[in-house]
Amino acid sequence: MPEHDHYAARGFADIAPTEVEDFFIDGFLRAQYRPSKSFRLAQRAFGTKCSDHELLTWMRTFYGRFFATQFMRHDLPDGPRIGSAGLDLRDGFMMPTYAQGALWLDEVDALLARIGNMEH
């Protein structure tokens, strides 16, 4: 893990399997799904392999890491564009580097609280 990765440094290295991470980034970037919709779709796609709590924990880590590392995009070399979900500024990715993930993280936290209440 890179030392600038605050989530890894704080022990939040609950990284999802690659197919789940890809699922989250595709829904976020290409389809612009809110966390609640991504979660419903992830339940259908991965529900037999993963618990709801796992999916939401991974989703929270995904959003936290994604927003925490946006300032570094300007330092990265140009990379390949995959489908219509490229992260290169020259390809039209217009997310501001100062974007905050609070709305997404708050929604994931609310979903986590809801499933936590359902389990008790």
The residue assigned the tokens 């999802």 is: 16
Distance CA 39, CA 44 (A): 9
Local structure of 30: helix, strand or coil: coil
Give pLDDT tens digits for 27-72: 988 888 999 999 999 999 998 999 999 999 999 999 988 887 765 5
3-state secondary structure of 10: coil
The per-residue pLDDT for range 64-107, each reduced to its tens digit, is 888 877 655 555 454 555 555 555 555 556 566 666 788 889 99
Model-level pTM? 0.71
